[in-house]
Structure 1
């Protein structure tokens, strides 16, 4: 309990909003980080908050390994937490924040405006092998919508798609898109890569992992309980 309190105190200026009894006001809470970053959390019991804690407290993607990028691409931007953190850290870089879900995308726009950032270019689309459209299978969890895994939820909507070849040069690529990693033609070589390889029926997780490991020096590998693999690599 004390460890969790300490983590929140170190991370947030308004830390009391995230501990009982003050956390009873759950909806539309602005998390104010010690470094000045502001993130609108739609529900503090949702994936918005857990994702923020992973990024802000756990440094799940080893951001200290990113060196002076000019182009950053965030595939599966969700509400913009990664995009905003790196856009603030590297103000001379252009950050492309790609998010297909309309509700997540609107929250992303709000968070960009909340931080007054001009170096983030938001794109309401999914990443695929080519330009076009694809079904987006929506999940009750805002971080689990997928263009590949139809088992995540009953609702489906069509979204635009763009290929990674849209970006002729990428320094930093963060890729967490619930299976879209299997439908891009290839993972490009970049200076830094953080990718989530999802364990989805019918997809060859091992093959994709080997492709990534052949292109990058892997500095972090985590395997989740569901079989999802997180890889962070440099020097591609």
Structure 2
């Protein structure tokens, strides 16, 4: 093997290890002008990640446009971590409607001690989910089925070009989805952060396309069956985003299991003139009956789309003694120490640098970068 092959192999192994560090979205290892091995790391949630297609392209996904949307919604806006919801150390978390696993990645990046159960029924999307959690060495358990009110096999319409809108064939409302895309773009152009014109143009282009779908038979199971099989004594947080099937998920929880559930974040469809009309009221009433403190919000970017964010918290959960997990700080010294526990000395980089963007070539590296030598 040539020296260049050896160097490439070393860089690949270091980069692969760094992707497992909580809070690191992407890593690159290069030789600088002084022949030092420099590991540059890009944290999750930085604004530059949105513009940097590299970090998102490295994820297994259906398409880059929706992956950017998911990243911004979950990592930047923290859409599910609102309404008083908290993520505690050693939490048990259900990711219902996991898609490619962006929410699971967020939970593991924020709280490595969390135990995540991710549910995704569509086989093609599930394969991407498995790849993303596998490559990062996450403890997330992934299940190739969805959650509903009972065990059944149901036909799903899977849209390869916009997988986040895939759903049960009997719950499809494509006209509403197209209108959602248009309203989202319009709201983001008015109220969203700057520098996203190209991304929004790509999203807008989705509404103009003639979408093709693939029909897939998918397994659905009740949540209570999973709780029993896993032997869970508590569930700290359930995130539900399942394209008009959210009430079915709640119906799959038996009365004996409701006291185990501490928090719920969910997207609820309440679309005028459709079978979902009035659902926010039904969902909030159901949660209130089970003893939750419930709040409803409308995200500005989804205003007038019939999508609502519902948050439910069990009174007393704020007294839980476990600390709340905060954003995992990515600093050079901690990363270098972490690497030294996982790699042999001859594979350790000479320098670890936290960046807001990644260089394209060794020439882009500063001659004397600030960082922490390992």
Instruction: Using structure 1 for the length normalisation, give the TM-score.
Output: 0.77
Cα drift, residue 52 of structure 1: 0.7
Q: Which residue of 2 aligns with 1:90?
A: 111
- 1:66–1:192 contact (8 Å) kept in structure 2: no
Cα drift, residue 157 of structure 1: 1.7
Secondary structure of the 1:183 match is helix
2:309 to 214, 217, 230: 230
Q: How many residues align?
A: 213
**In 2, Cα distance between the equivalents of 1:52 and 1:235?**
28
- 2:50–2:71 contact (8 Å) kept in structure 1: no
Q: Determine which structure has the larger helix proportion and give its number.
A: 2
The 5-angstrom pairing of residues 18-29 of structure 1 reads 18=51, 29=54
Q: Which one scores higher on RCO, CA 8 angstroms, separation ≥ 6?
A: 2
Matched, 1:125 2:150: no
**In 2, Cα distance between the equivalents of 1:156 and 1:42?**
16
The 5-angstrom pairing of residues 138-153 of structure 1 reads 138-139=158-159, 140-147=161-168, 148-152=170-174
**In 2, Cα distance between the equivalents of 1:84 and 1:9?**
13
Cα drift, residue 235 of structure 1: 1.8
Q: Determine which structure has the larger strand proportion and give its number.
A: 1
Q: Which structure would you say has the larger Rg?
A: 2
Mind listing any 5+ residue stretches in structure 1 that lack a counterpart?
Answer: 1-7, 24-28, 33-37
Please give the per-residue CA displacement for 1:98-142, whole angstroms capped at 9, x wherever unaligned.
Answer: 01112211111121122111x211001121112221111223421
- 2:89–2:111 contact (8 Å) kept in structure 1: yes
1:56–1:208 distance in 2 versus 1, CA, 3 Å = same
1:217 to 293, 314, 326: 293
- 2:298–2:308 contact (8 Å) kept in structure 1: yes
Matched, 1:172 2:251: no
1:198 to 256, 269, 294: 269
Secondary structure of the 1:178 match is coil
Secondary structure of the 1:47 match is helix
**In 2, Cα distance between the equivalents of 1:175 and 1:16?**
25
2:45 to 11, 15, 25: 11
2:56 to 19, 31, 38: 31
- 2:44–2:75 contact (8 Å) kept in structure 1: no
- 1:12–1:31 contact (8 Å) kept in structure 2: no
Mind listing any 5+ residue stretches in structure 2 that lack a counterpart?
Answer: 1-41, 175-211, 229-233, 316-374
Please give the per-residue CA displacement for 1:36-61, whole angstroms capped at 9, x wherever unaligned.
Answer: xx7445533x2111011111111111
Secondary structure of the 1:135 match is strand
1:41–1:69 distance in 2 versus 1, CA, 3 Å = same
- 1:69–1:172 contact (8 Å) kept in structure 2: no
Q: CA RMSD in A?
A: 3.0
Matched, 1:102 2:178: no
